[in-house]
Amino acid sequence: RALKLGMMPADGIGKEVLPCAARVLQSTPGAPKFDFVTLPAGFEHFQKTGSALPDETVRVLREECDGAMFGSVSSPSHKVEGYSSPIVKLRKELDLYANIRPVVGVRGTRDDEKWVDTVIVRENTECLYIKSETIEEGPQGQVARAIRQITERASKRIGKKAFDVALAREALRSKAGTSATAGRGKVTVCHKSNVLSVTDGLFRTAVRGVYESDKKSAGGPGRYEGIDMDEQLVDSMVYRLFREPHVFDVVVAPNLYGDIISDGAAALVGSLGVVASVNAGDTFFMGEPVHGSAPDIAGQNKANPIASIRSAALLLEYMGYSDPALKIYKAVDDVIREGKYLTPDLQGTATTSECEEAILRALQK
Amino acid sequence: RALKLGMMPADGIGKEVLPCAARVLQSTPGAPKFDFVTLPAGFEHFQKTGSALPDETVRVLREECDGAMFGSVSSPSHKVEGYSSPIVKLRKELDLYANIRPVVGVRGTRDDEKWVDTVIVRENTECLYIKSETIEEGPQGQVARAIRQITERASKRIGKKAFDVALAREALRSKAGTSATAGRGKVTVCHKSNVLSVTDGLFRTAVRGVYESDKKSAGGPGRYEGIDMDEQLVDSMVYRLFREPHVFDVVVAPNLYGDIISDGAAALVGSLGVVASVNAGDTFFMGEPVHGSAPDIAGQNKANPIASIRSAALLLEYMGYSDPALKIYKAVDDVIREGKYLTPDLQGTATTSECEEAILRALQK
Ligand SMILES: CC(C)[C@H](C(=O)O)[C@@H](O)C(=O)O
Ligand SMILES: CC(C)[C@H](C(=O)O)[C@@H](O)C(=O)O
């Protein structure tokens, strides 16, 4: 039976790059068969119909799909009555509680200068993203308030996910014979508990607790034996990320910090146009490029399809098909290393289609 | 009459670098006379006395001082009963509502590679820094909440401050004959109103309102004529800051985003050890290096005194003594350019004292 994937191109360049990802999935040697179903979502859909995420889209994803891909949304920068970000809502509705964002340079390119090979594990359901906001008229003008929520449950499960990601990376590294480089096999807890001692204090304690109780409960070696843990305040994190990105392996962060630091990390690998993510629950996964809808270049065949193609590979990997996923990663790396078919964001002159075609060719080698 | 400055070295390297700043102030040709009074504050003081910011410190600052300098605080990373960050409290108690953080490279050094000349104007009294946090036991474990507050009043006044900073920079540039380079004379509003449409929506609208009402109300040219305005989501802001820092002139941000992006910007000028700030109210100012207390190198004569020395110059500038302030900036730039007396954070081998002495010598030239 073919795997059914719900495809939500949504807005702007999402509509150009998501089809590239679908074609790559279909052409990857060793990949399962796919059955793609396009589902409406996004700001443009909202403008046409009044709904940014139709119930039917969520129903089909829940009841019929094995996985999904999301493109990118255009967000109005001011409040539009009745509009709410469909991607934020989707993550919550499907309980895709982890947004896993690997930021990895390509060896043999200028990425080597500031080597980065890190995965940001972003909590995906709470923090300020619960969007509980109020506004009122006070004696000195308007007063707006938002609630930032951090729960023990969500912090523990994202902590566990981060240690599991670190473990999987360690396994891969030792399989590839490249383990034991400095600063590897480590989870860094990102927070700001020097100011937010209660909310970030809880996040910090919960994540550390996952690690420490693993140590204690284990009669023999614990599950996370061999993985280190440290922590970093979010402001210093951004600073150190620019200065010495190589010291970070897996970084786990509450929702908003995760959003910010992953964009920061993206700057280190040349372009947001190459950074992939997967929104992960326990059994359902949704690939999503980290970039936005880029209205300035939308519809011009200029967008970089790599972030979406890598997101498709991540989706495959998380769905349990790591061999075809590795083939896609390698084909993309080859094309970046060759440097002949790169889009303008990577200082190239290729179109979206030319870049996609180069990847399709590399896949067949 | 001498100017009375309240000096709070606080913790760690603050105790080493603040005295350097005082000596530089005293030795600057054309500077007023100073009368320094050392005031207790900090985590170490809390551990000894149970108070991180004695009432008497605040009273002396309020009633007797013309200005102040703050060093750096060590913060416990977990909640300590009764402890609350003295710097966060000071900013609020003295209503120092703007934290102004210039991040500027030095021409003729490797700073030229990624040229940055930007000022971050950080709102200093609200956002998540109101520290209104609660925690309760729920059916699935602990649930913590923090309130993020954004008011029209605070957003308007920080907006006004940002446009005034941009104006002052324009004036300085045209005086120096270097105006009209691309992307200059501009205020960028940093927010995340695509998710926080109410709180960040209010911040955005209030700051834009300052600019737009200036345009409308002016019969002739408005006060901010010649200054541009644009905006940037905080995640993209961090990304663009790494990639094309030269496009930013003045950036205005709510408290937490301001904290994060200024550390990010600091990475572009070699070290947090050179980045200065001034906490500004309407009539009272407090200089403060952006770096932390660096417990790992405290007491070893290794800390970079430049951030504190530049903060002292900023304080002078904001107190109305721009000529001696400019002398200090220039002396620091000369020492950085010469490169012989730099501390380890700038890949040098000089001690704190050697760096300070080099600056004192450069001041007399
Ligand atoms: C579009 C926006 C709501 C989203 C977010 O903040 O999560 C985006 O920035 C991302 O990183 O996926
Ligand atoms: C020490 C801490 C409370 C402080 C802050 O977050 O404001 C620091 O990071 C800063 O930037 O001044």
CA-based nearest residue in chain B for residue A208: B78
Concatenated DSSP letters of B56-105: HHHHHHHHH-SEEEEEE----SS--TT---HHHHHHHHTT--EEEEEEE-
Mark whether B7 and B154 lie in a shared domain. no
Q: What is the pLDDT of residues B249-293, one digit of tens each?
A: 999 999 999 999 999 999 999 899 999 999 999 999 999 999 999
Q: B140 vs A131: CB contact, 8 Å cut-off?
A: no
Is the distance from the beta carbon of residue B88 to the nearest atom of ligand 2 less than 6 Å?
A: yes
Statement: residue B216 has pLDDT above 50: yes
Report the domain count for chain B: 2
C-alpha distance from A181 to closest chain B C-alpha (Å): 24
pLDDT confidence bin for B218, thresholds 50/70/90: low
What strands, in cross-sheet order, belong to the sheet with A278-280? A34-38, A3-10, A67-72, A285-287, A278-280, A98-104, A117-123, A250-253, A186-191, A228-233
- Whether B8 and B88 map to the same domain: the answer is yes
CB distance B77–A193 less than 8 Å?
Answer: yes
Q: Which of B339, B46, B322 is nearest to B172 (CA)?
A: B322
Please indicate, yes or no, if residue B127 is contained in any of the structural domains.
no
- Residue length of chain A: 365
Residues A112 and A135 in one domain: yes
Residue B190 one-letter amino acid? C
Q: How far is CA A154 from the centre of its chain?
A: 17
Position B183 pLDDT exceeds 50 = no
SS3 (DSSP) at A145: strand
pLDDT tens per residue, range A252-287: 999 999 999 999 999 999 899 999 999 999 999 999
Q: What is the pTM of this model?
A: 0.95
Structural domain contains residue B231: yes
Provide mean pLDDT across the span B19-25.
Answer: 98
User: 3-class SS at A248?
Assistant: coil
What pLDDT is stored for residue A1 in this prediction?
Answer: 84
Contact at CB, B133 and A198, closer than 8 angstroms: yes
B235 lines ligand 1 (CB under 6 A): yes
Same domain, yes or no, for A156 and A270? Answer: yes
Nearest CA in chain B to A139: B153
pLDDT in tens, B69-81: 999 999 876 678 8
Q: Is 60 exceeded by the pLDDT of residue B182?
A: no
Contact criterion met (CB below 8 Å) for A12 and A298 = yes
CA end-to-end span of chain A: 27
What's residue A48's pLDDT?
96
In a domain, B48, yes or no: yes
CATH number at residue B177: 3.40.718.10
Q: Does A138 reside within a domain?
A: yes
Task: Kindly provide the b/e burial profile for residues B305-330, where b requires at least 16 CB atoms within 10 angstroms of the residue's own CB.
Answer: bbbbbbbbbbbbbbbebeebbebbbe
Cα–Cα distance, B342 to B345 (Å, whole number): 8
Mean pLDDT (chain B, rounded): 93
Cβ contact B109:B242 at 8 Å: no
- Going by C-alpha positions, the residue among A313, A285, A312, A320 that lies closest to residue A61 is A285
pLDDT (0 to 100) of residue A180? 47
Q: Which of B274, B307, B329 is the last residue of a domain?
A: B274
Inter-chain CB pairs, A–B, below 8 Å: 187
**Nearest CB partner across the interface for A77, out of B76, B144, B231:** B231
The residue ranking higher by pLDDT, B129 or A171, is: B129
Give the model confidence (pLDDT) of B320-358 as tens digits: 999 999 999 999 999 999 999 999 999 999 999 999 999
Residue B73 Cα: closest atom of ligand 2: 1
Instruction: Please identify among residues 296-355 of chain A the ones whose CB lies closer than 8 Å to any CB of chain B.
Output: none
pLDDT of residue A288: 98
> Is residue B289 located within the same domain as residue B189?
no
Q: A99, A87, A151: which is closest to A123 by C-alpha?
A: A99
By residue range, what is the domain housing residue B230? 102-122+149-274
Which two structure tokens, joined as six digits, stand for A180?
């034991």
Kindly give the number of the ligand 1 atom that is closest to the alpha carbon of A99.
12
Q: Closest residue of B to A264, CA-based?
A: B239
Q: Convert the pLDDT of each residue in B90-127 to its tens digit.
A: 999 999 999 999 999 998 888 888 889 999 999 999 99
B73 lines ligand 2 (CB under 6 A): yes
Out of A280, A315, A340, a domain closes at A280
Own/partner pairs, A134-143, CB within 8 angstroms, 24+ separation: A134/B198, A135/B198, A135/B202, A138/B151, A140/B151, A140/B152, A140/B153, A141/B151, A141/B152, A141/B153, A141/B156, A142/B151, A142/B152, A142/B202, A143/B149, A143/B150, A143/B151, A143/B152
Question: Can you list the residues of chain A whose pLDDT is less than 50?
Answer: 179-180, 182-183
Partner-chain contact A198 B234, CB within 8 Å: no
A174: in domain = yes
A280, A310, A338: which is the final residue of a domain?
Answer: A280
Q: Which of B73-87, B195-209, B231-245, B334-348 has the lowest mean pLDDT?
A: B73-87
Distance from CA of A206 to the nearest CA of B (A): 10
- In chain B, what percentage of residues exceed pLDDT 70? 96
- Contact call for B78 and A193, based on CB within 8 A: yes
A129 and A264 belong to one structural domain: yes
pLDDT at A182: 44
**Burial readout A108-120 (b: 16 or more C-beta within 10 A, e: otherwise):** ebebeebbbbbbb
Both tokens of B283, joined, read 């009539």
Return the residue of A nearest to B238 by Cα.
Answer: A264
Q: List the one residue out of A181, A161, A365 whose CA is nearest residue A281.
A: A161
Looking at the fold, whether A132 and A252 belong to one and the same domain comes out as: yes
Give the pLDDT of residue A128: 98
For ligand 2, mutation pick of B72, B120, B131, B259 (most atoms within 8 Å of CB): B259
User: Residue A121 domain-assigned?
Assistant: yes
Across the interface, of B146, B198, B292, the residue whose CB is closest to A199 is B146
B357 and B327 co-located in one domain: yes
Same domain, B216 and B292: no
Q: Are the beta carbons of B85 and A143 separated by less than 8 Å?
A: no
B194 lines ligand 1 (CB under 6 A): yes
Residue A138 φ/ψ region, left for φ over 0, alpha for ψ in the -120 to 50 degree band, beta for the rest: beta
Distance of CA A221 to CAs A163, A169, A182, A218, Å? 15, 18, 22, 6
Residue carrying the six token digits 């009294």: B125
- In angstroms, the Cα distances linking B224 to A147, A177, B157, B221, B333 are 35, 61, 15, 8, 30
Q: Are residues B241 and B318 in the same domain?
A: no
Contact flag B194-A143 (C-beta cutoff 8 Å) = no
Q: A67 and A110: one domain?
A: no
- B133 confidence band (pLDDT: 50, 70, 90): very high
CA distances from A169 to A119, A184, A186, B271 (A): 10, 9, 10, 31
Does residue A285 form part of some domain? no
Q: Specify whether B107 is located in the same domain as B38.
A: no
User: Domain for residue B136, yes or no?
Assistant: no
CA B241 to chain centre: 17
Ligand 1 binding pocket includes A166 (Cβ within 6 Å): no
